[in-house]
Amino acid sequence: MADRMQGFGNHKRFFPLYHFIAAPLLIAYLLYALYALVRAPSLATAASVVLGVGAFCTLFASRLMALAVQNRLIRLEMRLRFDRLFGAAASDNFDALALRQIIALRFASDAELPGLVQRVRSKELATPTAVKQAIRDWQPDFLRA
């Protein structure tokens, strides 16, 4: 994977087991269970719907937990980069940014990070998408969840 170029246009990641297998199968099961409940209401068909909702909620919650851990790791990584690049001003620069902005800045090289941070703090780059589009020296991340 490391030989593939990554940039703004192709940085979003799909986890095939989750996005293309588990979630669609559970959605199909839940839709079928709802159909069966409507066609032949019974304790068994209602239990099937409850099971489908529970399984889907479990799958969705596991994805949210993985993303939360990933975001915490990105925040830690960026805190360390800010400490190294900004020195004494690291806390002011870091604390002024929203998590979504920090995550977007993660793809910037060390050389362009200070300039991008200033543009974010001045509100020139207001959204994570704008931040990512402004990055010229994209640092790929192939290990995202």
The tens digit of pLDDT for each residue in 54-83 reads: 999 999 999 999 999 999 999 999 999 999
pLDDT tens figures, 6-33: 677 667 777 889 889 999 999 999 999 9
Looking at residue 68, its pLDDT comes to 95
Tell me how many domains the chain contains: 1
Looking at residue 90, its pLDDT comes to 85
Is residue 61 one of the residues assigned to a domain? yes
Is residue 8 one of the residues assigned to a domain? no
Looking at residue 1, its pLDDT comes to 47
Is residue 10 one of the residues assigned to a domain? no
**How far is it between the farthest Cα atoms of the chain?**
68
pLDDT tens figures, 110-127: 999 999 999 999 999 999
